[in-house]
Chains A and B, each alone.
Chain A
Amino acid sequence: MPVLTIVFAALFYVATVVLLAFTAYKIWGYAKTPAPLKIPTTPAPTTRLGVVFRMVKELTVFESLFKSSKWTWLFGWMFHFGLLLVLLRHLRYFTDPVWAWVVFLQPFGKYAAFMMLAGLAGLWARRILVDRVRYISAPSDHLMLLLLIAIGVTGALMTFVDHTDIVSLKAFILGLMVFNWSPMPNDLVLIVHLSLVILLMIIFPFSKLLHAPGVFFSPTRNQVDNPREKRHVADWANRLESS
């Protein structure tokens, strides 16, 4: 087995474990931490179903962001929706036979890379050009964009310019999933692409990328506005009361 394959197989396992374990740990933390008071940003839905609608709007069309900044919304939405299509397209490397809807998505997913990159470029331009956004940016905020852009560019290079040995790559990935390893193609662009993806997976649970699970737990968005109808008491507040 080539060294390259061993190294990347090991890295992928480590990255996957880190991503899943630490993200799960954070989610568990959010879930077990009480929200002792009703703090939905009002006007808020008065029913559970209404809250589901509110969350769906936040997640699919970024409703609040749309209210606040049209440019950030546009670039942010282009990036996220592009990324979604690109990720779904990548399912073809994890499934055999490839699901029909993934096949259908291929052309969209391929060109979505440009939408994603354009969105990222726009977001980065804002971060550099708008004095307010520049002020609040830490080095990691710039590097995160750089990382995502590098992943996108190397991916697009392989799709549109210099194809990698996609058959071997798929064999490598399928092998990883069943612990029956095949060699990984020795291709510089691919190595860079996968290295950066592994880095992203490892960073995820320790960075602002936690906004992805976090948004589901935001009390200002996910609480039902019914404090008068239904008494809401957290555990620690209950203990305070009985002491």
Chain B
Amino acid sequence: MAAPEFETPKIDEYPVIPRLQEGVMSHSRPFVAKADFQEKLGFPGELVDNWKEVAIEKMGELTGKYRSLQVFLDSCVKCGACTDKCHYYLGTSDPKNMPVARQDLFRKVYRRYHTLSGRLFPKLVGAEDLTEEVLDDWYSYFHQCSQCRRCSVYCPYGIDTAEISMAAREVMDAVGKGQKYCNEIIGKVHVIGNNLGLPEPALADTLEGLEEDVEEETGVAVRFPLDVEGAEVLLITPSADFFAEPHIDGLIGYAKVFHQAGISWTLSSYASEAANFGMFIGSYENMQKLAMRIRQAAIDLGVKRIVFGECGHAWRVAYSFLNTLAGPFDFLDPDYPVPQHVCEVTHGLIQEGKLVLDPSQNDDMVVTYHDSCNVARASRMGDRPGGQFEIPREIIKAVCNNYVDMPGYAIKEGTYCCGGGGGLLTDDLIELRVKGALPRMEALKNVVDDYGVTHMAAICAICKSQFSKVFPYYDFDMDQIVSLHQLVSNAIVLQPGDDNQACQEEGQAEAA
């Protein structure tokens, strides 16, 4: 790849709201999906001749299907509360990256064709014809939204730009202008079962290799089972966990937790992907088709529980949508929520004293925690609101002696997206990704300077990949991003001889 021709934004001491610079990101757009990938998902291969009519009709169909879309398009009063909330605006200064302006790209067309005021007085109410320029703008700027929902926290009507972006991408797919990255990946999952296109033999091989590595390192045979019928837990995890750093260290962490707790578990080669990119393109049908693989795997393997690994948007689809898309899950053990997050499992085991932990193993680190956007604002963990903030932090504090939070505006419900979420984690959008990471980099720099933070933990495959990639642009090291379960993995004290069938009741020996 050619060297990127853009400047990495400077980190200010405290966050600054930039002045508008119109059009500076209009060139940023991802590769368009090729015809065969489009057609596999049931979309036209290329831009259809009557795309305007199709798009306008599709908009009408979507406002009739989604209350959110209809209410959000009508309700915005242009108060400006959201204008300084998007990390892409803060990082790029492009006004069309202000949430309301991004919505308006869609809203102005909706008004023109679907409202009385827009039909009669387009200029007055800011309605506009759908033209090729408008479609180009859509393609640029609806691929500069990571669907992180930060704007929706601050909107007095709860308008969520993610809903508009999803609708816009759905319309673009319907006219034959889909995005390569997302649509190729969805196609792979439909056929092979994961985003990487990793077939069963390769997956089995990888897991076998991991077993050897862990045994070599710890002297304990921690298993990484695949397609084991009758296991208690089906683990659904992002496929990045199978090969990339620091993801894979997280997977080792889950395995150690299950091992020490004596919970039998398995991965599935049929449903070997937690991420559901169907959400990114707003396609209910694709999202459901992907979700059904998980249901099928759970039935085929006869498991009692479904647990999800560390992945942000995946956890949104799992927590908020899975029951809707692929339920009911009445064939699973009713004593556990469906699905469970691996953090809920680990946290529960820590509470019950079933894990032997030595937090001093992480004494070489001062850790902070990045709340992944879709975990923070689109899901929950545990049985209380806000559990998604407390549970990961409590785990980290249990396995790590040095923990510091980033400034309040940048964590929990106000957390900034990593800059690569929502189907944007592709090299053709690297400028956007680097610039969009700015607010998180500022907050991180803050605790690095003030508290000597050395590492940032995350529970999302996209966040981890994104930070590995953009950290060097901001003079951090790529290995300063760690998986939360990597910290657990470091601290967990495995007892030799406990092979395969771990029983922990007696295993409370203090670690040296």
Decide whether A and B are members of one complex.
Answer: yes
Residues of chain A touching chain B, judged by Cβ–Cβ distance below 8 Å, are 26, 29-30, 33-39, 41-46, 58, 62, 64-65, 67-69, 72, 76, 123, 126-127, 130-133, 135-141, 143, 206-208, 210-211, 214-215, 217-221, 225, 227-229, 231-233, 236-237, 240-241
Q: 1/0 per position for B93-129, CB-CB distance to A under 8 A?
A: 0010010110010000000000111000101111000
| Pairs A–B under 8 Å by Cβ, sample size 30 | A30-B70, A33-B63, A33-B65, A34-B65, A35-B67, A36-B324, A38-B321, A39-B68, A39-B163, A41-B158, A42-B377, A43-B413, A44-B380, A64-B155, A68-B156, A127-B78, A133-B78, A133-B80, A140-B121, A207-B125, A210-B74, A211-B77, A214-B75, A217-B71, A218-B71, A218-B75, A228-B339, A232-B323, A232-B324, A241-B288
Task: Enumerate chain B residues within 8 angstroms of A229, measured Cβ to Cβ.
Answer: 337
A227 with B324: CB separation less than 8 A:
yes
Which of B82, B104, B320 counts the most chain A CB atoms within 10 A? B320
Within 8 Å by CB of B385, from A34, A44, A68, lies A44
Complex CA gap A38/B379 in Å reads 10
B147 to chain A: closest CB distance in Å? 11
Which of B17, B116, B152 counts the most chain A CB atoms within 10 A? B152
Interface size on B, residues (CB 8 A): 73
Complex CA gap A37/B68 in Å reads 10
A132 with B386: CB separation less than 8 A:
no
B73 to chain A: closest CB distance in Å? 9
Task: Enumerate chain A residues within 8 angstroms of B82, measured Cβ to Cβ.
Answer: 68
Complex CA gap A217/B69 in Å reads 11
A26 with B20: CB separation less than 8 A:
no
Task: Enumerate chain A residues within 8 angstroms of B66, measured Cβ to Cβ.
Answer: 33-36
Complex CA gap A135/B101 in Å reads 8
B153 at the interface (CB under 8 A from A): yes
B124 with A218: CB separation less than 8 A:
no
Task: Enumerate chain B residues within 8 angstroms of A26, measured Cβ to Cβ.
Answer: 74
Task: Enumerate chain A residues within 8 angstroms of B338, measured Cβ to Cβ.
Answer: 228
Complex CA gap A219/B156 in Å reads 13
Complex CA gap A217/B66 in Å reads 12
Which of A29, A58, A143 counts the most chain B CB atoms within 10 A? A29
A186 to chain B: closest CB distance in Å? 32
B370 at the interface (CB under 8 A from A): no
Task: Enumerate chain A residues within 8 angstroms of B78, measured Cβ to Cβ.
Answer: 127, 133, 136-138, 141, 208
Q: Which 7 A-B pairs give the minimum distances between C-beta atoms?
A: A138-B126, A68-B154, A214-B75, A220-B158, A43-B385, A133-B80, A132-B83
Task: Enumerate chain B residues within 8 angstroms of A130, measured Cβ to Cβ.
Answer: 80
Q: A135-B20, A211-B77 are in contact. Are A39 and B160 (CB under 8 A)?
A: yes
B335 to chain A: closest CB distance in Å? 13
B390 to chain A: closest CB distance in Å? 10
Q: A136-B78, A214-B74, A220-B158 are in contact. Are A39 and B101 (CB under 8 A)?
A: no
B385 with A46: CB separation less than 8 A:
yes
Within 8 Å by CB of A215, from B100, B104, B157, B386, lies B157
B98 with A220: CB separation less than 8 A:
no
Within 8 Å by CB of A72, from B80, B285, B377, lies B80
B85 at the interface (CB under 8 A from A): yes
Task: Enumerate chain B residues within 8 angstroms of A220, measured Cβ to Cβ.
Answer: 68, 152, 158-160
B496 to chain A: closest CB distance in Å? 38
A236 with B95: CB separation less than 8 A:
no
Task: Enumerate chain A residues within 8 angstroms of B323, measured Cβ to Cβ.
Answer: 227-228, 231-232
